[in-house]
Amino acid sequence: MTTKVRLIDVSKCVGCKGCQVSCKNWNQLPATPTEFSGSYESPPDLFPNTWSRVKFNEYADSDKVKFYFSFFSCMHCSDPACLNICPVKAISKDSLGSVKVDLGVCIGCGACKGVCPFNVPRIGNNKMFKCTLCSARVSNGMASACATACPTGAISLGDADEKIAEAEARVAELKKSGFANARIYGKDELGGLGVVYVLTDAPDKYGLPAEPKVSLADVYFWKVALGPVKTLATVGLAAGALSGWLQMRKEEIRKEQEGKE
């Protein structure tokens, strides 16, 4: 199966939250009551029972409020830090590109949350929860629940090459229409993400890190906390040694996954 990309074109988003509700509905996730905090954004964060949400990034524009809406969920990274750190190999990436957690194996240690460059995983009842890219739907030829619900076509799912070409064409169109800062996000970041955005302005305006990075300090912390590489800490090896360990771990996971296919 070809790797899929979820394309999010924020220039088409009207902030209706249909995607958010559809995600809850398909995954049978209960609603969590929230209190009005002065923003229309709700819920204010991801939670174990909220795997996607629409950010209402607000800016003052003369005497008006300007919203930069953006759907946010797991980025399904091509080289996921969460998968690389998990001490019990509960996380895997399938041929669609979906990064998934096996709840039967997860021990809820939180290392995946600690190293994720987008702060996506949430821990509840000693298990990790996040978006699955609706892999059960997508592997059966359906669109993800969020894309199915979106009334404006702001979210769509398709083969990676096609979606990236579509994003590039859309950015060119937006630039011609006066959005000088329009750009793609997710095509090159961290070696390519499973979620590609068409943005009308800089990433930080949409609450996205301009240059997402996996923090080696966080990886180091978690490896020490998790125990198996305690020797790295005691002999005081530096970031180079840790990078070497990570490469070894990635290779091990790649071989294991090849063996499963």
Question: Which residues of this protein are in contact with ligand SF4, per CB under 6 A?
Answer: 13-19, 54, 69, 71, 74-77, 80-82, 85-86, 88, 90-91, 99, 101, 106-112, 116, 118, 120-121, 123, 128, 130, 149-150, 152, 154-155
CB of 63 to ligand SF4, least distance (A): 25
CB of 148 to ligand SF4, least distance (A): 10
Distance CA 159, CA 171 (A): 18
CB of 201 to ligand SF4, least distance (A): 16
Helix (H, G, I), strand (E, B) or coil at 233: helix
Pick the closer one to ligand SF4 by CB: 146 or 182.
146
Nearest partner of 166 among 2, 6, 3, 1, judged by Cα: 6
Tokens found for residue 27: 């995954």
Helix (H, G, I), strand (E, B) or coil at 157: strand
Distance CA 90, CA 252 (A): 14
Pick the closer one to ligand SF4 by CB: 13 or 171.
13
Pick the closer one to ligand SF4 by CB: 67 or 164.
67
Q: Is the dihedral of CA 215, 57, 189, 24 positive or negative?
A: positive
Pick the closer one to ligand SF4 by CB: 5 or 19.
19
Helix (H, G, I), strand (E, B) or coil at 34: coil
Pick the closer one to ligand SF4 by CB: 39 or 238.
39
Go through 73-107 and write b for each residue having 16 or more CB atoms within 10 A of its CB, e for each that does not: bbbbbbebbbbbbbeeebbbbbebbbbbbeeeebe
CB of 65 to ligand SF4, least distance (A): 17
CB of 156 to ligand SF4, least distance (A): 10
